[in-house]
Structure 1
Amino acid sequence: MNPEPDTTQDTQLRVHCTADADGRLTFRLPALAGPEPQVLLRLRPKKGQTEETVHVLDVEAVDDGTWRAVLEPRPALAEGRWDVYLLPEPGAPRQRLRPGLRDVRALVDGHTRDRPSPVAVRVPYTTKDGYLAVRAWLRTAHAEVERMAVTDGSMTVTARMHGAALEAGAVVRLRARGAKGAVLTREPQVDSGSRQFSFTVDYAELVAADAVGDRVWDLSVQPRSGAGATARIGHLLDDLAERKEIFVYPSAAVAGVAVRPYYTVDNDLSVEVTAAQHR
């Protein structure tokens, strides 16, 4: 489907959105004109790329005079940011929707429920320019951060596996970004009979492992020994679409550089090493 470009960027039409624990999203709109209104979700293309993926939902009238569209848990949305539009009728120019009430209470304790593979997450949120969007993640497996203890020289992370079980020989990997970035490993401490594990990162070891002054280390876990897919360590399973500017950890001075854990724009956990002259 190739809908016409949106022509109403300043629409004041608002849509209420409710998320449930299974990943279902329900959109409610005021009474609409038009023979067959639809709600359209568009996967926001990366910079320089063209739009390729949309998902269209039929709208039905509700007894209270409003309209409703439901995005069921399956099929899962591709990972990325999905903008929400109204199509007054099929083929009509689409209109960007602004958020009304966002009920995301069912997502708050999402980290307490074991997730099967693939791990599919959806969080409705308000964009910086005031429109409704949905942040989606879709991963074969995921390690959810449950606690972090940060000191002047180290960080200890407690996380829980979703979509995979930790087996003998599982390792935590810290990979420095770049073509020739170093790789460090840690043996996780696994709770018996649980998917929960913990590990400690010594900042001085990160600094000593790489001669480059500025570096970012990405954290992941390999659930089983030998070659195999790794699962990124991060914080996805609650009601927050953006963590980077909310969860800010202090930096530590180690051997003339600053070391700081942080969440990326994708809510994955990384560690930033910054030379003193760049701070």
Structure 2
Amino acid sequence: MRAELSRIDTEDVLELRLESDHGGTGAGLALRKTGDEGTAIHVGLEWEGSRARAPLAGLPIADGVWEVLWVDGEGRSVPLSTRDAGFSVAERISYLRGRRERELRALRDQDGRLRVHSAAVSPYAEVGWVEVGTDAGTVTVSGVLAYESEPEHGGTAAEIVARQRGLDGLLTAPAEIDGARFRCVVPLAPVAEAHVFERKHNEWDLWLRTHDERPELRLAMHADDIVDKKRKIVYPTAVVDTGAGNEGAAQVRVRPYYTAKDELSLLALEHDGGAR
């Protein structure tokens, strides 16, 4: 059995479009964890022609990768294959929006078989856009709240929090939240003024803080499935004056970068007068 389309929507319903009309056959699905021949989780289907919907919300789908089996009306099961790669950035962003503690994703393995990946998740701030104002000395960041419920009131005031890693530096700047979307402008002058020249690198980790007693949300970019962004994405550098309070080097180079966990931070280095 093979599906032409296999996606999990925002309500954790596995949507299938099969190659032919199989409605009314009494067929269903079963999920079996990869490497575990134990009891499978049986899932009923809702039919509309060749389209089927399998509700997965609330099922005991533990962390890991699960095989998707087609079960015919006589109880015989075979692996369900798919033509669908199962990935869309736009659909991923839609799925991120809204409170959830578990993420379910439809995947196609190297042999074309359909899999469901299950993972526990925690809220964070998904970065969608980063712009460095090299002349203005700012970094503008926007994105969406991931796995977190939207504030009750639109246009909610918030703030971006920058923490100097391994040091005591703490900087804040205003941020805005409109529905699930956030936007902030980080001024780089305070980063330069707090620079510790005895350290070759000064890293600043970025968090989004709301004013309704929720935990702070780490800024990160995960929705595009590109890993190791630290080696793949390079943003422009802004050269910023340290201000009159610092002696010695007068300027600091600051740029956004992604950590080994694909979280967004700022990297500040002493400017040696060379090219930006």
Normalised to the residue count of structure 1, the TM-score between the two structures is 0.55
Q: Which amino acid aligns with 1:271?
A: L
- 1:223 has 2:210 as partner: yes
State how far apart, in whole Å, the 2-side matches of 1:150 and 1:185 are.
Answer: 18
Aligned to 1:10: none
TM-score, normalised to structure 2's length?
0.55
Q: Which residue of 2 aligns with 1:271?
A: 266
In structure 2, relative to structure 1, the CA distance for the partners of 1:114 and 1:133 (3 Å cut) is closer
Q: Which has the larger radius of gyration?
A: 2
Q: Is contact 1:216–1:271 with CA below 8 Å preserved after alignment?
A: yes
The 8 Å contact of residues 122 and 137 in structure 1, kept in 2 or not, is answered as no
- 3-state SS, counterpart of residue 190 of structure 2: helix
1:24 partner letter: V
- 1:205 alignment counterpart: 190
8 Å contact kept, 1:157–1:199 = yes
Equivalent residue runs for 1:106-117 within 5 Å: 108-109=90-91, 111=93, 115-117=97-99
Larger deviation, residues 149-158 vs 15-24: 15-24
1:155 match:
139
Letter paired with 2:164: A
Question: How far apart are 1:156 and its partner, in Å?
Answer: 0.5
Separation (CA, whole Å) in 2 of partners of 1:117 and 1:216: 30
Q: Secondary structure at the match of 2:7?
A: strand
Residues 154-210 of structure 1: CA distance to partner in whole angstroms, max 9, x if unpaired? 310123444252887733212233xx433433342436x755442222345334434
Structure 1 CA distance, aligned partners of 2:159 and 2:82? 42
1:259 to 241, 255, 265: 255
Distance 1:127 1:151 in 2: 42
Q: Structure 2: 5+ residue runs without aligned partners?
A: 19-28, 70-79, 240-250
C-alpha spacing 1:228/1:241, structure 2 compared with 1 (3 Å)? same
Distance in structure 2 (CA, Å) of the matches to 1:73 and 1:258: 44
Distance 1:113 1:146 in 2: 14
Q: Give 1:18's aligned residue.
A: 7
Amino acid aligned to 2:174? P
In structure 1, how many angstroms separate the alpha carbons of the residues matched to 2:164 and 2:118? 26
Residues 163, 243 of structure 1: alpha-carbon distance in 2 compared, 3 angstrom cutoff:
farther
Pick closer, same or farther for the CA change 1:138–1:61 going to 2, 3 Å: closer
Higher relative contact order (CA 8 A, sep 6+): 1
Any stretches of 5+ residues in structure 1 without a counterpart? 1-13, 30-36, 43-53, 88-96
Secondary structure of 1:108 counterpart: helix
CA contact (8 A) 1:175 1:184 kept: yes
Compute the displacement of 1:223 (Å): 1.2
Change (3 A) 1:224 1:109: same
Corresponding residue of 1:6: none
Contact 2:102 2:118 in 1 (8 A): no
Does the aligned pair in 1 maintain the 2:84–2:108 contact within 8 Å?
A: no
**2:32 corresponding residue in structure 1:** 40
| One of 218, 231, 234 as aligned partner of 2:220 | 234
The percent of aligned pairs where both chains have the same amino acid is 17
Instruction: Work out the CA distance in 2 between the residues paired with 1:60 and 1:195.
Output: 33
Judging changes above 3 Å, is the alpha-carbon distance between structure 1 residues 174 and 181 closer, same or farther for their aligned structure 2 residues? same
3-state SS, counterpart of residue 191 of structure 2: helix
Contact 1:174 1:185 in 2 (8 A): yes
Q: Kindly provide the CA deviation profile for residues 223-267 of structure 1, in whole angstroms up to 9, marking residues without a partner as x.
A: 117x7521223345x5x33355497242416446563333753x5
CA distance, structure 1, for counterparts of residue 193 and residue 139 of structure 2:
16
Partner residue of 1:145 out of 127, 131, 143: 127
Query: Are positions 1:57 and 2:45 aligned together?
Result: no
* 8 Å contact from structure 1 (residues 147, 159) kept in 2: yes
**In structure 2, distance between residues paired with 1:121 and 1:183:** 35
**Secondary structure of 1:186's match?**
strand
What is the root-mean-square deviation of aligned Cα atoms in Å?
A: 5.4
Aligned mates of 1:216, 1:172 — CA distance in 2: 15
